[in-house]
Structure 1
Amino acid sequence: MFKRLFWLGAGIATGLVLAAKAQSYVKAHTPDGARQFVLGPDQDNVTIRTLAALWEDFNAAREARERELTGRYLNGR
C-alpha cells in the first residue's frame, strides 16, 4: 500500500515538474505570437486557470452524478 502511494506521489511530482519546465521552455524560446497562441493572452496564470477549469469540470460531473443517483434511489425513478 505504501509503495503504491509513494510511486503515485512520485509520478504526480514528476509530472508537475515536467509541466513547469515545459511551460518555462515555451515561454523562453518562442516568439510572442506563438506563445500567446499556446498559453493564451494571460501567460502568468496558465496553471491557475487550468486547475480552476479542471476543478469546475470535476464538480459539474460530480453534481450531475449526485442528482442522477438521488433521483434514482430517493425518488424511486
Structure 2
Amino acid sequence: MFKRLFWIGIGAAIGVMAVTKAQAYVKAHTPDKARQFLLGPDPENVTMKTMEGLIAEFNATRRAREAELNRQYADRAR
C-alpha cells in the first residue's frame, strides 16, 4: 500500500515538473501571438484557470449525478 502511494506521489511530482518545464519552454521560445494562442491572453495564470475549470466541471458533474441518484431513489421509495 505504501509503495503504491509512494510511486503515485513520485509520478505526480514528475508530471508537475514536466508541465512546468513545458510551459516555461513555450513561454521562452514562442512568439507572442503563438503564446497567446496556446496559453490564452493571461499566460501567468494558466495553471490556476485550468484547475478552476476542472473543479467546476467536476462539481457540475457530481451535482448532476447526485440529482439523478436522488430521483432514482425517490421513485423507488414511492
Deviation of the 1:76 alpha carbon: 2.3
Structure 2 residue runs of 5 or longer lacking an equivalent are none
Deviation of the 1:74 alpha carbon: 2.8
Q: What's the TM-score once normalised by structure 2's chain length? A: 0.93
Query: Structure 1, residues 3-60: CA drift from partner, whole Å, max 9, x if none?
Result: 1111111111110110010000000000001000000101110000000000001001
Matched residues in 2 for 1:23 and 1:17: separation? 10
Higher helix share: 2
Q: What's the TM-score once normalised by structure 1's chain length? A: 0.94
* Aligned residue in 2 for 1:62: 62
Structure 1 residue runs of 5 or longer lacking an equivalent are none
Structure 1 runs of 4+ aligned residues shifted over 6 Å read none
Percent identity over paired residues: 58
* Aligned residue in 1 for 2:45: 45
Deviation of the 1:73 alpha carbon: 1.0
Please tell me whether residue 32 in structure 1 is matched to residue 57 in structure 2. no
Q: How many pairs were matched up? A: 77
SS at the partner of 2:76?
coil
**Cα-Cα RMSD:** 1.2
